[in-house]
Structure 1
Amino acid sequence: MSITVNNNLITPDQLQYEVVERKGLGHPDTLTDGIAEAAEIEYCKYCLEKFGYIPHHNFDKVMILGGQCIQKYGGENFSDPIKVIFMGRGSKNFGSETIPMGEIQIKAAKAYLSRVLPHLDVESESIIVFQSITSSHSTRPYWFSPRDKNDLPEYSDEGPTANDTATMISYWPLTKSEQLALDIEGYFYQNNDQGLPYPRFKEFGGDIKVMVVRDGDASVATVTVPQITTMTTTADQYFEREHKLRNNLTNYIQSKYPNENINLIINTQTLGRNPRPYLVTAGSCTDFGEEGAVGRGNKTHGIISSFRPNTMEAPHGKNSTYFVGKVLGYQADVIAKQIYTVTKSPCQVILRANIGDKLYAPSKIIVSTAQKVSQEIVQDIVKDSLSIGSETTLRIIHEQPFLPRTNVIDEKNYGKDKY
């Protein structure tokens, strides 16, 4: 394991331009990320409780195929349902015990969608259907059909090895533009008792998209926010509600960023000569044909920050025991935050593993900081974090860091149910 530390980091807020995108919790791509991760978590919990081990699986191949529902004031029925399809591969047994993999996946998907899209009736097959075609195919006969612990080499005394050659990247802290993108979407959410976000307003859908473009000291934040057809009966009601939202969201952002020059634009398609409303029925553009796929949406820290380096690895639904794209992604996040906490210097962390490496001793680690810091302190932070080894798996399952979240509003300081 080689650790290199340099102080050459240039963060996006030091540049003239910055572009940050956020695909909201109801965006089709974010939905598939969440469904895949929810299913993986529940599969792991089931297997740990039942067997004490997590068999081989990867649920990071999930797709949503959009249905068909005409969007009109007052609502309309679906003529073709939304389809959620689980692909990938997974173990359907451990020894002689059957694992109800498809049931676990579908139950997790329904629970996840019910939270983030409360207008979506997940039990109505005329609105949405679920299908698991996850296979157990492999060139290794017992890889997805383990007879016992001995068919799970990651549980050997040597510990897990990297399943792939991949590089994971993280950074901390977020710039103001990155925070802004999350804060704008977070205005529409509150946390439940488990600390997971759900909508504050029944009138608005979750397929919200935010694009922040900063040029020098001036930022333009463009936001698209849909309204629910069954809660919106006339055009007058739609535009009156949007006008109120525009004022209140602007006030909220100004209160959070009092010294920043931010121009907030909501629903550009309603601002022209021929305004076109943004309507959804169940909360997402999957209502009328949009598709979603794991890995096409938000990247590190739930944003698409165009001036940051990013990995193409998508952690959602990946195996939490030995998949580089998940385990080292988690470690990179933890290390970056800890370095910033200790040194107060913005930093970037790169963990590169070659297939077959000991997972918690990746071949190359590069830490870049914006300020000069003690190399010894940084190296100690890296080593300490990686030293927990397979405890990382349990933390991922219980902390659920890869379930999509957002910067939910602090209702104590701003008030409840005010759009």
Structure 2
Amino acid sequence: MGLRVNQLFQVPIEEQDLEIVERKGVGHPDHICDAIMNEVSVALSKEYLKRYGHVMHHNIDKALLAAGEVKTRFGGGEVKMPMLMVFGDRATYDVDGDPFPVDELAVNTAKKWLKNHLRFVDPEKHVRYQVELKKGSQALTDIFKRKGKYYGANDTSAAVGYAPLTITERMVLQTEHYINSPSFKKEFPETGEDVKIMGAREGKELNLTVALAFVDKLIENENQYFKRKAEITEDVNRFVRDRAK
């Protein structure tokens, strides 16, 4: 198949009357699953290369983060049941009789990611791990044993990309990055990383809805909660206004 370039006859998004954009921050369960599975794939690839000289077959892109159970209260609650991180899909567990520690590597990689990105999550106490990765099928794993200059493809896929971002997309993305930045967390340490922002633009008017969790052990009472919420709202509004000029 050769390269084809066609013109898209469509009104650009920025010129349309309605635009809706959503961003899930680093502490959102969807983001956590995607990020951890990506890190597991990278870690597997590096270890396969180190041991065998090439990347062995694996598909690491399915995960589930099941909710735990907590009891919240001002001044600090407790985790009654930890979250459950489930790893799914396939990997190479054995190479010519040499066992490969897929499960151990996956769990350790997840713990490292959680420790580095979520300040209030203890990967040992607050998360359980369930590895459901299975061995790959013979039709796929033997690709790496075939001779030839190039490995054959083991799947079909299509990708869609676009650029540049619209003003609304940039505003939503930059606002989430700001709320999860070290400077913001230093100023407002009671805010967690589980952030979700929806931007809705109607004509030239943009409204942002920010879902931002508070950490109960850093909030002593109801008055402090509403005081800090108002301060955070003003700070985020200032950030958005400065970038909208």
- Measured after TM superposition, the shift of residue 23 of structure 1 is 1.2
Counterparts of 2:171 and 2:113 in 1: how far apart (Å)? 25
Alignment CA distance shift 1:114-1:5 (3 Å): same
Counterparts of 2:89 and 2:170 in 1: how far apart (Å)? 33
Secondary structure, aligned partner of 1:202: coil
Residue 199 of structure 1 contacts residue 206 of structure 1 at CA under 8 Å; is this kept in 2? no
Amino acid paired to 2:87: F
- Measured after TM superposition, the shift of residue 12 of structure 1 is 1.0
- Give 1:62-101 correspondences, 5 Å limit: 62-101=63-102
Confirm whether residue 120 of structure 1 aligns to residue 111 of structure 2: no
Cα distance per residue 1:341-381 (max 9 Å; x no partner) = xxxxxxxxxxxxxxxxxxxxxxxxxxxxxxxxxxxxxxxxx
| Sequence identity percentage | 25
Quote the residue 2:6 is aligned against. Answer: 6
CA RMSD of aligned residues (A): 2.1
Counterparts of 2:226 and 2:118 in 1: how far apart (Å)? 23
Residue 116 of structure 1 contacts residue 199 of structure 1 at CA under 8 Å; is this kept in 2? no
Secondary structure, aligned partner of 2:61: coil
Alignment CA distance shift 1:99-1:239 (3 Å): same
Cα distance per residue 1:30-68 (max 9 Å; x no partner) = 111111111111111111122111111111121111100
Greater helix percent: which structure?
2
Amino acid paired to 1:135: K
Quote the residue 1:19 is aligned against. Answer: 20
**Structure 1 residues not aligned, in runs of 5+:** 192-197, 259-419
Amino acid paired to 1:161: A
**Structure 2 residues not aligned, in runs of 5+:** none
- Measured after TM superposition, the shift of residue 149 of structure 1 is 4.4
Counterparts of 2:151 and 2:97 in 1: how far apart (Å)? 25
Alignment CA distance shift 1:9-1:93 (3 Å): farther
Cα distance per residue 1:95-134 (max 9 Å; x no partner) = 232211111111111111112211001122xx21112121
Counterparts of 2:20 and 2:109 in 1: how far apart (Å)? 34
Q: How many residues in Structure 1 have an aligned counterpart in Structure 2?
A: 242
Secondary structure, aligned partner of 2:27: coil
Quote the residue 1:301 is aligned against. Answer: none
Runs of 4+ in 1 over 4 A off after TM superposition: 198-201
Secondary structure, aligned partner of 2:162: strand
Counterparts of 1:62 and 1:109 in 2: how far apart (Å)? 11
- Measured after TM superposition, the shift of residue 137 of structure 1 is 5.2
- Measured after TM superposition, the shift of residue 81 of structure 1 is 1.3
Quote the residue 2:132 is aligned against. Answer: 133
Residue 69 of structure 1 contacts residue 79 of structure 1 at CA under 8 Å; is this kept in 2? yes
Residue 59 of structure 1 contacts residue 88 of structure 1 at CA under 8 Å; is this kept in 2? yes
Secondary structure, aligned partner of 1:89: strand
Quote the residue 1:204 is aligned against. Answer: 191
Counterparts of 1:245 and 1:9 in 2: how far apart (Å)? 42
Quote the residue 1:168 is aligned against. Answer: 159
Amino acid paired to 1:159: Y
Counterparts of 2:235 and 2:203 in 1: how far apart (Å)? 26
Residue 209 of structure 1 contacts residue 224 of structure 1 at CA under 8 Å; is this kept in 2? yes
Choose between structure 1 and 2 for higher RCO, CA contacts under 8 A separated by at least 6 residues.
1
